[in-house]
């Protein structure tokens, strides 16, 4: 039997076409998976179609509730990430203790949130608008939620993704003890792409934290269009002073207008990128200061003044002394630079209302990801009057020593978590982290009474000085050149909070004891092959002194 060439060609063509179809299917699956991973086209287009379907096809109340619950559950913290879990912190004039409280079990969203002190307890506002009580080391969710229309946002916002760590935030919480009111600022969804920054209050019973009325609106910003996915730039910090509410408003939009560079922060008629003063007797709004980019911290300073933190661009996070009528310069004047460049130049000549700009009290260069600010009152007399600034990027507290309104020096204190907010409660500092945890900071009174800092061991024995060239007796942090020697004796080898262990040391089994310490200090490679630590070449007397000091901690 003979097969014609045409039949063979048809058979081969079918195989080629089938192979091409299979190859196309495989490549499309890979492309779609890659687009999903990188959140690129067509992922956003498909997500928009899904959103369009959800918003146009009516859902039953039960189906809508299930959908909202699913979206919210994706934003909840799944594990308690305590970062640097060292229980002690050495600072220049105070030894501190640190204790963690996880918020994971309380269905707390990761990222964002705020704190307020009320009747010796702590209120916690999560970024989706729920409120919790922290008292006696126990966290309890209250039956109070800000009226932000979260469900409407999840099912009705015209863009996707609808809910991320940066979108649709509740910003700040404050307690008015005179009127027993909780005051909160938050993003509220209207419809389509429209949201507003809103401030509202509700009366509570400070004994059992039940509510006495419904939420009353104090302030509503003008409409914010297509910015619900960027509410981390919305400011939203509130502060009460002399029956007036001070509110920072962000959304510092800038664009070309009439051939010049227009900025809402420099527009005297715009309430955006400002600090507002709201009279609580009649809710009358006054633009108090201008030239603000994104202020997420405010505090009373030296009893009768106001200070605020402000996020700069790449560099130039600021602390400003806020005064009526003052212009703090953004975006015309900044100590930062455009991202990825060495300078900060506007693309066009700016439309300005004034060249009389007020310099900050202090600027952080490079930026620290500045968060809230407080002035120490009752924590400890050694820090009395100092400013404490939380940081997101640097994961530290910055203690700023000030005198006569001038910053004398700064001391970075490594915490190891993104710090979102911070309050002082008597002799404690309570910190809210972006990792869904609270950190309670107290003074280590027993260690302070000994008046002996870990580094004082240097002065006691000469041999340890060679070790201190690289190591330290304070907890390790991102800037440490080598692991800490603090309480190293009987400690698991390679278990310090240090990021740059050699593979050999990090994977070595065992604990530090006198025998292996003697070997390792004199000849590291003899104990751990592949260790990068150099031989110390100590005398027998120096080695005895070092071992004695390490054991006595």
pLDDT band at 39; cut points 50, 70, 90: very low
Residue finishing a domain among 70, 95, 122? 70
User: How many CB atoms within 10 Å of residue 429?
Assistant: 23
Cβ-contact 357, 332 below 8 angstroms: yes
Residue finishing a domain among 449, 477, 509? 449
If asked whether residues 498 and 531 sit together in one domain, one would say: yes
pLDDT surpasses 60 at 516: yes
If asked whether residues 500 and 419 sit together in one domain, one would say: no
The residue that leads in pLDDT, 553 or 410, is 410
pLDDT surpasses 70 at 426: yes
**Domain for residue 333, yes or no?**
no
Q: Mean pLDDT throughout 367-376?
A: 96
If asked whether residues 380 and 468 sit together in one domain, one would say: no
pLDDT surpasses 70 at 378: yes
The residue that leads in pLDDT, 61 or 169, is 169
> How does pLDDT run across 13-24, given as a tens digit for each residue?
666 767 667 677
Q: How many domains does the chain have?
A: 3
**Domain for residue 242, yes or no?**
no
Q: Mean pLDDT throughout 87-95?
A: 89
If asked whether residues 528 and 483 sit together in one domain, one would say: yes
Least confident among 214-223, 291-300, 539-548: 539-548
Query: Mean pLDDT of all residues in the chain?
Result: 87
User: How many CB atoms within 10 Å of residue 367?
Assistant: 21
Return the structure tokens found at 468.
């201190």
Return the structure tokens found at 338.
């455009």
Max mean pLDDT among 1-15, 73-87, 382-396 falls in: 382-396
> How does pLDDT run across 166-177, given as a tens digit for each residue?
899 999 999 999
**Domain for residue 138, yes or no?**
no
If asked whether residues 503 and 481 sit together in one domain, one would say: yes
pLDDT at 302: 92
If asked whether residues 432 and 492 sit together in one domain, one would say: no
SS3 (DSSP) at 246: strand
Least confident among 49-53, 94-98, 112-116, 405-409: 49-53
If asked whether residues 399 and 464 sit together in one domain, one would say: no
pLDDT at 327: 96
If asked whether residues 380 and 437 sit together in one domain, one would say: yes
If asked whether residues 435 and 480 sit together in one domain, one would say: no
If asked whether residues 539 and 457 sit together in one domain, one would say: yes
pLDDT band at 1; cut points 50, 70, 90: very low
pLDDT surpasses 90 at 38: no
If asked whether residues 424 and 468 sit together in one domain, one would say: no
pLDDT at 32: 57
If asked whether residues 387 and 435 sit together in one domain, one would say: yes
Q: Return the H-helix or E-strand segment holding 407.
A: strand 406-414
pLDDT at 53: 52
pLDDT surpasses 60 at 459: no
**Domain for residue 285, yes or no?**
no
SS3 (DSSP) at 202: strand
pLDDT at 4: 54
pLDDT at 37: 47
Helix then strand then coil, in percent of the chain rounded to 5, is 25, 35, 45
pLDDT at 299: 97
pLDDT surpasses 60 at 348: yes
Distance CA 198, CA 475 (A): 42
pLDDT band at 162; cut points 50, 70, 90: confident
| Strands 428-433 and 437-443, bridge-based pairing | antiparallel
The residue that leads in pLDDT, 467 or 392, is 392
Q: Mean pLDDT throughout 68-73?
A: 89
**Domain for residue 52, yes or no?**
yes
pLDDT surpasses 80 at 414: yes
pLDDT surpasses 70 at 34: no
Domain that holds residue 380: 87-103+368-449
Helix spans in 461-513 (H): 464-468, 503-506
Q: Mean pLDDT throughout 414-431?
A: 94
**Domain for residue 249, yes or no?**
no
pLDDT surpasses 90 at 464: no
pLDDT surpasses 50 at 449: yes
End-to-end CA distance of the chain: 95
pLDDT surpasses 60 at 247: yes
- Residues of the chain with pLDDT > 70, as a percent, come to 87
pLDDT surpasses 80 at 5: no
pLDDT surpasses 60 at 43: no
Least confident among 18-32, 100-114, 268-282, 312-326: 18-32
**Domain for residue 187, yes or no?**
no
Return the structure tokens found at 317.
């996070």
CATH at residue 470: 1.10.760.10
Residue finishing a domain among 402, 422, 449? 449
**Domain for residue 410, yes or no?**
yes
pLDDT at 159: 78
């Amino acid at each position: 039997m003979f097969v014609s060439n045409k039949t063979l060609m048809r058979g081969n063509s079918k195989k080629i076409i089938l192979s091409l179809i299979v190859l196309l299917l495989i490549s499309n699956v890979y492309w779609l998976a890659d687009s999903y991973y990188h959140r690129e086209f067509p992922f956003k287009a498909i997500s928009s179609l899904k959103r369009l379907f959800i918003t146009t096809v009516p859902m039953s109340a039960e189906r809508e509730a299930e959908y909202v619950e699913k979206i919210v559950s994706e934003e909840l913290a799944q594990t308690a990430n305590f970062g640097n879990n060292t229980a002690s912190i050495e600072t220049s004039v105070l030894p501190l203790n640190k204790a963690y409280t996880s918020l994971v079990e309380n269905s707390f969203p990761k990222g964002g949130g705020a704190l307020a002190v009320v009747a010796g307890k702590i209120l916690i506002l999560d970024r989706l608008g729920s409120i919790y009580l922290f008292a006696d080391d126990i966290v309890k969710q209250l039956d109070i939620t800000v009226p932000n229309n979260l469900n409407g946002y999840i099912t009705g916002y015209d863009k996707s993704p609808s809910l991320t760590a940066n979108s649709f935030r509740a910003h700040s919480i404050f307690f008015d003890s005179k009127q027993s009111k909780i005051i909160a600022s938050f993003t509220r969804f209207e419809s389509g792409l429209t949201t507003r920054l809103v401030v509202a209050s509700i009366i509570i019973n400070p004994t059992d934290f039940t509510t006495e009325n419904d939420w009353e609106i104090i302030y509503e910003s003008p409409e914010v269009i297509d910015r619900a996915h960027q509410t981390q730039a919305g400011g939203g910090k509130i502060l009460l002073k002399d029956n007036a509410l001070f509110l920072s408003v962000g959304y510092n939009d800038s664009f070309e207008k009439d051939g010049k560079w227009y900025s809402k922060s420099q527009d005297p008629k715009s309430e955006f990128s400002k600090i507002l003063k709201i009279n609580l007797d009649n809710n009358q709004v006054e633009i108090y200061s201008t030239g603000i980019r994104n202020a997420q911290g405010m505090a009373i300073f030296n009893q009768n003044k106001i200070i605020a933190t402000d996020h700069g661009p790449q560099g130039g996070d600021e602390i400003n002394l806020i005064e009526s009528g003052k212009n703090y310069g953004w975006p015309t004047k900044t100590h930062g630079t455009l991202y990825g460049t060495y300078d900060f130049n506007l693309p066009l000549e700016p439309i300005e209302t004034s060249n009389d700009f007020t310099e900050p009290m202090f600027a952080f260069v490079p930026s620290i990801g500045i968060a809230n600010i407080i002035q120490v009152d009752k924590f400890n007399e050694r820090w009395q009057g100092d400013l404490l600034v939380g940081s997101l990027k640097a994961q530290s507290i910055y203690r700023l020593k000030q005198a006569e309104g001038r910053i004398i020096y700064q001391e970075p204190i490594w915490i190891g978590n993104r710090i979102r907010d911070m309050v002082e409660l008597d002799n404690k500092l309570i910190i809210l982290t972006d990792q869904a945890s609270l950190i309670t900071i107290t003074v280590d009174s027993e260690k302070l009474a000994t008046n002996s800092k870990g580094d004082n061991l240097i002065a006691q024995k000469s041999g340890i000085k060679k070790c201190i060239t690289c190591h330290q007796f304070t907890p390790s942090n991102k800037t440490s050149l080598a692991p800490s020697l603090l309480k190293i004796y009987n400690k698991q080898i390679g278990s310090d909070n240090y990021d740059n262990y050699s593979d050999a040391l990090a994977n070595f089994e065992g604990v530090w004891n006198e025998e292996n310490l003697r070997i390792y200090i004199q000849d590291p490679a003899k104990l751990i092959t592949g260790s990068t630590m150099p031989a110390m070449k100590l005398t027998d007397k120096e080695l005895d002194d070092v071992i004695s000091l390490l054991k006595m901690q």
